[in-house]
A = this chain, B = another copy of it.
């Protein structure tokens, strides 16, 4: 944000709810009236709501929910305004030695990703896009796919305490009224018996209006603001979720998935339904009858055969 905009915002904040004439701003800043107007337009594009009234001037009526960068930094969170994707930025941090529970958050992802390389729409200032780097001490990669389920259940549980009604769809979706409000992308790097690092990427749609979604997502996606009357502040939400996840991961790496099984079941919309799961070697259809103690989905197909699927994609 340029200096002119910062001084204009300060002037608004010195006179809460009041009008400031363009002429006054122009004199104060020693720039032309049209330069003031241009900067007001720029602030509006950045999410500020500013009334203009002939003879009275400009008035600030609403502010964007910006991430409080100073607060995030003071908590040790890596912030970047714009990234390709937070998982990609996290991987670079991890390769450079970033420690356990290093977090990177961004205001915008230019190529946010979902599972299997798919796109995740991540417009500026509308969501929470962040990734947590984990360096589990004792875990083979094969054993930790259930961390995705832990993450989904813990985030859903927290959102349910702030007047939102979120559910989890096995293995990595967060839904509100059946529409996608968030997702988790778990990636890892390792040797067969050693996880060098895990990346838990979390995307939450927070302030999207219906029009903010591309046409092909309008029927499928929603945001927390669309599903709630609560005034959600992204910074608070991020810090609260990180706090819950940090506790949860400590328990998970000490005791495995079992302590989270009931929590996951409480919010899940998968069990009891007929589902089709896509796997590398093909797809399996059946009724999702149970989640086992390792977080694997137990399916019963039409011929009664039981399939236990540790991770996959429900289509």
A142 on the B face (CB < 8 A):
yes
B188 with A281: CB separation less than 8 A: no
Contact between A138 and B280, CB atoms less than 8 A apart: yes
A233 within 8 A of partner (CB): no
- Given A141-B142, A142-B141, does the pair A192, B280 have CB atoms closer than 8 Å? no
Which chain A residues numbered 147 to 184 have a C-beta less than 8 Å away from chain B?
Answer: 148, 171
Indicate whether A116 reaches chain B with its CB closer than 8 angstroms.
yes
Which of A59-67, A221-229, A305-313 binds B? A305-313
A132 to chain B, nearest CB (A): 15
Residues of B within 8 A of A115 (CB): 191, 194
**Is there contact, CB below 8 Å, between A193 and B141?**
no
Chain B residue numbers with a CB within 8 Å of A311 are: 140, 191-193
Indicate whether A190 reaches chain B with its CB closer than 8 angstroms. yes
Least distance between A315 CB and chain B CB atoms (Å): 13
User: Assembly of this chain: how many copies?
Assistant: 2
- A193: which of B138, B185, B312 is its contact (CB, 8 Å)? B312
Most buried by B among A140, A190, A192, A281: A192
Interface residue A139 (Cβ < 8 Å from any Cβ of B): yes
Q: What is the total number of residues of chain A having a CB less than 8 Å from a CB of chain B?
A: 30
Contact B193 A280 (CB under 8 A): yes
Cβ B280 vs Cβ A191 within 8 A: no
Do the beta carbons of B185 and A188 come within 8 Å of each other?
A: no
Does A137 reach chain B (CB closer than 8 Å)?
yes
- Tell whether, in the assembled complex, residue A280 and residue B139 are in contact, meaning their CB atoms are under 8 Å apart: yes
Q: Output the least CB separation between A294 and chain B (Å).
A: 12
Q: Is there contact, CB below 8 Å, between A140 and B190?
A: no
The reply to whether the CB of A186 lies closer than 8 angstroms to some CB of chain B is yes
> Is B139 a contact partner of A142 (Cβ separation < 8 A)?
no
The answer to whether A148 touches B193, judged by C-beta atoms less than 8 angstroms apart, is no
Q: Mark A278-297, 1 if CB is under 8 A from B, else 0.
A: 01110000000000000000
Q: Contact check: which of B116, B139, B191 meets A186 at CB < 8 Å?
A: B191
**A/B interface sample: 15 pairs, CB < 8 A:** A115-B191, A115-B194, A116-B194, A141-B188, A141-B190, A141-B192, A145-B192, A185-B191, A186-B192, A187-B189, A187-B196, A188-B190, A192-B311, A193-B279, A194-B280
A contact set with B: CB distance below 8 Å: 115-116, 137-142, 144-145, 148, 171, 185-194, 196, 279-281, 310-313
With contacts A171-B192, A187-B190 known, what are 6 further pairs, Cβ within 8 A? A115-B191, A140-B310, A140-B311, A141-B188, A187-B196, A193-B279
